[in-house]
Amino acid sequence: MTSPQAESTLTYAADLTREDVTALETFLNAQLGRVSEVVGETGETSFAMQSLLILVSDSAGFLHVLLRLEQPDLWQRAAIVREWQRLRSTAHPFNHCEGFDHDRWWNQVRHYDATDERAEQERIIRLAGEAVLDEGPAPTE
Protein backbone atom coordinates (compact mmCIF):
# COMPACT_ATOMS: atom_id res chain seq x y z
CA MET A 1 0.00 0.00 0.00
CA THR A 2 1.52 3.29 -1.02
CA SER A 3 0.75 6.83 -0.08
CA PRO A 4 -1.40 8.98 -2.40
CA GLN A 5 1.47 11.46 -2.66
CA ALA A 6 4.01 8.81 -3.70
CA GLU A 7 4.96 10.68 -6.85
CA SER A 8 6.37 13.65 -4.94
CA THR A 9 6.62 13.49 -1.16
CA LEU A 10 8.04 10.28 0.17
CA THR A 11 5.97 9.14 3.15
CA TYR A 12 6.42 5.36 3.27
CA ALA A 13 9.35 3.11 2.46
CA ALA A 14 7.03 1.04 0.27
CA ASP A 15 7.07 4.01 -2.13
CA LEU A 16 10.85 3.87 -2.53
CA THR A 17 12.23 2.98 -5.92
CA ARG A 18 15.66 1.76 -6.87
CA GLU A 19 16.02 5.07 -8.70
CA ASP A 20 15.48 6.90 -5.38
CA VAL A 21 18.33 4.93 -3.83
CA THR A 22 20.62 5.49 -6.80
CA ALA A 23 19.86 9.23 -6.86
CA LEU A 24 20.50 9.63 -3.13
CA GLU A 25 23.69 7.57 -3.28
CA THR A 26 24.93 9.61 -6.25
CA PHE A 27 24.14 12.87 -4.46
CA LEU A 28 25.93 11.72 -1.31
CA ASN A 29 28.98 10.51 -3.23
CA ALA A 30 29.22 13.90 -4.96
CA GLN A 31 28.97 15.82 -1.69
CA LEU A 32 31.30 13.55 0.25
CA GLY A 33 33.72 13.42 -2.67
CA ARG A 34 33.83 17.21 -2.72
CA VAL A 35 34.62 17.26 1.01
CA SER A 36 37.21 14.50 0.59
CA GLU A 37 39.07 16.59 -1.97
CA VAL A 38 39.43 19.37 0.59
CA VAL A 39 40.44 16.96 3.35
CA GLY A 40 43.14 15.25 1.30
CA GLU A 41 44.29 11.67 1.25
CA THR A 42 46.04 11.37 4.59
CA GLY A 43 45.17 11.81 8.22
CA GLU A 44 42.32 10.84 10.51
CA THR A 45 39.73 13.01 8.74
CA SER A 46 40.60 11.36 5.44
CA PHE A 47 40.10 7.93 7.00
CA ALA A 48 36.74 9.03 8.39
CA MET A 49 35.64 10.27 4.97
CA GLN A 50 36.67 6.98 3.35
CA SER A 51 34.73 5.07 5.99
CA LEU A 52 31.65 7.21 5.43
CA LEU A 53 31.81 6.62 1.67
CA ILE A 54 31.99 2.86 2.34
CA LEU A 55 28.96 3.03 4.67
CA VAL A 56 26.95 4.94 2.05
CA SER A 57 27.83 2.36 -0.58
CA ASP A 58 26.99 -0.56 1.73
CA SER A 59 23.63 0.93 2.77
CA ALA A 60 22.67 1.69 -0.82
CA GLY A 61 23.72 -1.77 -1.95
CA PHE A 62 21.70 -3.44 0.80
CA LEU A 63 18.68 -1.30 -0.07
CA HIS A 64 18.95 -2.27 -3.74
CA VAL A 65 18.83 -5.94 -2.75
CA LEU A 66 15.88 -5.43 -0.38
CA LEU A 67 13.89 -3.42 -2.92
CA ARG A 68 14.02 -6.34 -5.35
CA LEU A 69 11.84 -8.38 -2.98
CA GLU A 70 8.18 -8.54 -3.93
CA GLN A 71 6.89 -9.39 -0.45
CA PRO A 72 9.54 -8.45 2.11
CA ASP A 73 9.33 -10.10 5.53
CA LEU A 74 8.79 -7.98 8.62
CA TRP A 75 12.54 -7.73 9.37
CA GLN A 76 13.24 -6.82 5.74
CA ARG A 77 10.60 -4.09 5.84
CA ALA A 78 12.22 -2.69 8.99
CA ALA A 79 15.64 -2.88 7.32
CA ILE A 80 14.36 -0.94 4.31
CA VAL A 81 13.10 1.83 6.60
CA ARG A 82 16.33 1.85 8.64
CA GLU A 83 18.71 1.88 5.66
CA TRP A 84 16.74 4.58 3.85
CA GLN A 85 16.73 6.68 7.02
CA ARG A 86 20.46 6.16 7.39
CA LEU A 87 21.13 7.45 3.88
CA ARG A 88 18.57 10.25 4.17
CA SER A 89 20.01 11.41 7.49
CA THR A 90 23.50 11.38 6.04
CA ALA A 91 22.35 13.60 3.16
CA HIS A 92 20.28 15.96 5.30
CA PRO A 93 23.14 18.32 6.31
CA PHE A 94 23.71 18.91 2.57
CA ASN A 95 20.08 20.01 2.00
CA HIS A 96 21.26 23.45 0.87
CA CYS A 97 23.31 21.96 -1.99
CA GLU A 98 22.19 21.77 -5.57
CA GLY A 99 20.68 18.39 -6.35
CA PHE A 100 19.12 17.76 -2.93
CA ASP A 101 15.60 16.48 -3.60
CA HIS A 102 13.53 18.18 -0.90
CA ASP A 103 10.34 16.34 -1.91
CA ARG A 104 11.83 12.87 -1.67
CA TRP A 105 14.56 13.28 0.96
CA TRP A 106 13.39 15.93 3.42
CA ASN A 107 10.84 13.97 5.49
CA GLN A 108 11.74 11.07 7.71
CA VAL A 109 10.27 7.75 6.63
CA ARG A 110 9.16 6.02 9.82
CA HIS A 111 7.08 3.14 8.47
CA TYR A 112 7.16 0.72 5.59
CA ASP A 113 3.53 1.44 4.66
CA ALA A 114 0.22 2.63 6.08
CA THR A 115 -0.56 -0.84 7.45
CA ASP A 116 2.67 -0.87 9.48
CA GLU A 117 1.93 2.64 10.73
CA ARG A 118 -1.57 1.64 11.91
CA ALA A 119 -0.23 -1.49 13.58
CA GLU A 120 2.31 0.57 15.53
CA GLN A 121 -0.33 3.10 16.57
CA GLU A 122 -2.61 0.29 17.77
CA ARG A 123 0.29 -1.29 19.69
CA ILE A 124 1.04 2.04 21.39
CA ILE A 125 -2.62 2.52 22.34
CA ARG A 126 -2.79 -1.04 23.67
CA LEU A 127 0.41 -0.62 25.71
CA ALA A 128 -0.78 2.72 27.08
CA GLY A 129 -4.04 1.08 28.15
CA GLU A 130 -2.14 -1.75 29.85
CA ALA A 131 0.07 0.78 31.66
CA VAL A 132 -2.98 2.56 33.02
CA LEU A 133 -4.43 -0.74 34.23
CA ASP A 134 -1.10 -1.70 35.87
CA GLU A 135 -1.08 1.52 37.88
CA GLY A 136 -4.31 0.58 39.59
CA PRO A 137 -6.76 3.02 41.11
CA ALA A 138 -5.58 6.50 42.01
CA PRO A 139 -4.73 6.92 45.71
CA THR A 140 -7.38 8.65 47.79
CA GLU A 141 -6.70 11.20 50.47
Is 90 exceeded by the pLDDT of residue 18?
Answer: yes
pLDDT in tens, 100-141: 999 889 888 999 989 888 988 888 888 887 766 666 565 665
**What integer pLDDT is reported at residue 121 of this predicted model?**
87
Secondary structure element (H or E) that encloses residue 99, with its range: none
Cα 60 to chain centroid, rounded: 11
DSSP state of 6: T
- 1 confidence band (pLDDT: 50, 70, 90): very low
Spatial contact of 64 and 25, defined as CB atoms under 8 Å apart? no
CA–CA separation, 30 vs 10, rounded Å? 22
- 46 confidence band (pLDDT: 50, 70, 90): confident
pLDDT in tens, 52-100: 999 999 999 999 999 999 999 999 999 999 999 999 999 999 999 999 9
CA–CA separation, 24 vs 20, rounded Å? 6
**What integer pLDDT is reported at residue 130 of this predicted model?**
74
Residue-by-residue DSSP string for 31-56:
HHHHHHHHH-SSSHHHHHHHHHHHHH
- 6 confidence band (pLDDT: 50, 70, 90): very low
CA distances to 25, 56, 135 from 8, rounded to whole Å, are 18, 23, 45
Residue 24 vs residue 107, higher pLDDT: 24
Spatial contact of 35 and 48, defined as CB atoms under 8 Å apart? no
- 45 confidence band (pLDDT: 50, 70, 90): confident
